Amino acid sequence: MAHPLYVWLRKRIRLDIFNITCGDSHLGQLLKDLLRQYKYIVGFIIALNCIAALFEGSTMGALLLALDVLLGEKTGPAQDSLRIVQSFLVTIEERFGRGGIFAFYVGLAVLSQLLRSGFQFFGRAATAYLQAWCERDLRSRVFRQFFSIRYDHVVKYKIGDMALYTHQTNGMVNYLGYLNSLVSDFLILVTYICVLLWISWPITLLAVVTLGLLSLGLSRVIRVVRTAATEFVKATVRMNEQIVEYLQGIRTVRAFAQEEHVQGLVDETLREAMLANRKSLVWEATILPLVECLTVLCVAGLLVLCYVLLDVNGEAWLPRLAVYVFVVYRLMPRAGTINSNLAALKRLYPTVSRVAAILRQDNKPYMRDGGRDIRSLQDGIEFRNVTFRYDGTATPAVRDLSFFIPRGTMTAIVGESGAGKSTVLDLILRLYDPTAGVILADGIPLPEYDQKAWRNLIGMVNQDIHIFNASIHQNIAFRRPDADREEVERAARIANAHEFILELPNGYDTVVGERGMRLSGGQRQRIAIARAVLHDAPILILDEATSELDSNIERKIQESIARLSLDRTIIAVAHRLSTISMADQILVLESGRLVEQGTHSELLGLNGIYAGLWRIQSQSEEKVRK
């Protein structure tokens, strides 16, 4: 049975190593996953570090033997351990004398050091490859995570925060680099201790105790570094969120003349981040100078102790004393480097723990993916007693909705702002799943279908159009990247966009800027319509598709949409009721409920909510014409 002291020490050492390198189980699991994924190169790096450490130890042994020979010692502990080459040494001594043996040991020390440097280089080069692969993999995993998490959860993240997550994977790469340096320095430290034990175990035990006390004293500094680093990461997150948010709203900021106010808010966050970062770096910078000062004191004390112990034993102490002091002098900076690496790991801990947290899957909701394939809509889409409530809200956005959208027809959804129109569209797209009730396509609940297959059936033109910072051609062909120029131009003509595209500096190759800032609202909308046309989906969703167009262009787009409607299922949300008067059925929503349903003429005959909205808009349009 193991001794209780041994069990306690083993447990403490494991906990300390875990706290130093991980700090929480999820970060530890992420590291394990990475090490398992790249196990061969990790094993290769560890092997190179071990070999480099052995050659470092052989360098010290060869130097000791050379000093023994230089001072006339031909036997002794060091030489006895090399009896396997005794005949070779005798041959050298017979031919070249004692100087030949001295030169042999010096050459062996130089060769060992060169080999150590070579293996260390290859170890660091392999680590650089590992870091590059891990950075690529982690950034891809973080990006994929945001597209895998359920939509109602991912929209809670701010854009700046999500962008920062992908950037902070670089912290994990640096973390792996510091871990490798920590392992490499620890192996060399063990080698040094073995050499020192070989020379004199009493003095070495004292040196180990000294190193332990030194590390204990530096632990306080390392804790301060970690605390300051956590504050820095929090301030950096706030800063990134603010910068992205205000840059996206730069038009609003300028329109309200709030440049100075916004600048002040950002500067204050920058100041907080700077102070936290400065505190972390300053405390981290104290470690190495502190270790170097203590090194001088330790070496002086060990010199006196070495002299007393080695001389009392009546041995020729000078060679071993010289090598001992040399090893200690190389060991102490190594100990300082280890402590610096530990401090760096603590400083990076808040960053890498954020990466581990976003990659966790046990605390995040994912949209259920049934896997059933669907190539076309045969019957239609049915809402059956559907209720949906957004997280954090008490009132449902839609409640107890029941209706059927037949294949090949046009269904319009109207209602006041906040009635639930956009929510219905999001539910059809399966950006959300109902809180209660079920949505079916051809009689089968949507969650049973493969998400990608279902969404491939849908083309959409949003009210809030997102145009990418790419060429016109790439934006139109977003859903079909393999589309050729002829297909793209045909879609643009249908969307009444071809003429204005040709007037741009580079035509279809014109890069339109972030979110299409170089285009007008109407031009962006026509690009979005062309994108939907090119996709050629059997289901077309139009969410205020012509809201940014003037009457002339709107009429032409309506004609194009009418041609597209042949044998397609159209679901349209429109504020201008004139644009949906020809719909096969119109659904009128009020406070999330379906209150009226029928054709345009039927709803006018009811003289209800739809008829009231129609009269108001007709009167407004009449006044505009006058």
Question: Given a cut of 90, is residue 625 above it in pLDDT?
Answer: no
Residue 516 scores a pLDDT above 70:
no
What is the three-class DSSP state of 56?
helix
Residues 94 and 76: their CA atoms lie apart, in Å, by 20
pLDDT score at 14: 41
What are the residue ranges spanned by the domains of the chain?
33-359, 380-457+537-625, 466-524
**With 90 as the cut, is the pLDDT of residue 27 above it?**
no
The whole-number pLDDT of residue 556 equals 63
Cα separations in angstroms, 58 against 171, 172, 321, 328 = 36, 34, 17, 15
Tokens for 264? 């002040």
**pLDDT bucket at 382, cuts 50 / 70 / 90:** very high
pLDDT at 415: 85
pLDDT at 73 > cutoff 80: no
Q: What is the pLDDT of residue 353?
A: 80
Q: How far apart are CA 172 and CA 345, in angstroms?
A: 10
**Confidence at residue 9, expressed as pLDDT on a 0 to 100 scale:** 42
Cα distances from 375 to residues 117, 136, 554, in angstroms, run 62, 35, 32
The residue ranking higher by pLDDT, 510 or 332, is 510
Residue 71 has pLDDT above 70, yes or no: no
- Which pLDDT value is given to residue 212? 65
Residue 526 has a pLDDT of 82
- Does the pLDDT value for residue 6 go beyond 60? no
- pLDDT digit string, tens, across residues 37-46: 888 888 898 8
> Residue 134 has which token pair?
């891990």
**Which of 46-50, 121-125, 211-215 is the least confident region?**
211-215
SS3 content of the chain, % helix, strand, coil (to 5): 70, 10, 20
Q: pLDDT value at position 127?
A: 85
Average pLDDT over residues 462-490: 83
pTM above 0.85, yes or no: no
- Name the residue with tokens 């879609």: 491
- Residue 79 pLDDT more than 50? no
Q: What is the pLDDT of residues 39-66, one digit of tens each?
A: 888 889 888 888 888 888 777 777 767 7
CB neighbours (10 Å) of residue 263? 12
- Which range is least confidently modeled, 19-23, 39-43, 174-178, 620-624? 19-23
Is residue 358 a contact partner of residue 142, using CB atoms and an 8 Å limit?
A: yes
Taking only the tens place, the pLDDT of each residue in 564-602 is 666 788 888 877 777 787 888 999 998 889 998 998 888
Rounded distance between C-alpha atoms, residue 252 and residue 616, angstroms: 31
Which pLDDT score, from 0 to 100, does residue 439 have? 92
Right CATH number for 380-457+537-625 from 3.40.50.300, 3.20.20.210, 3.30.70.890, 1.10.10.10? 3.40.50.300
More confident residue, 283 or 110: 110
Task: Please report where in the chains the tokens 């034990």 appear, as a residue.
Answer: 197
Residues in the chain: 626
CATH class, 33-359 region: mainly alpha
Q: Which two tokens stand for residue 428?
A: 């059809």
Q: What is the pLDDT of residues 145-180, one digit of tens each?
A: 887 777 777 777 777 677 777 777 777 778 888 888
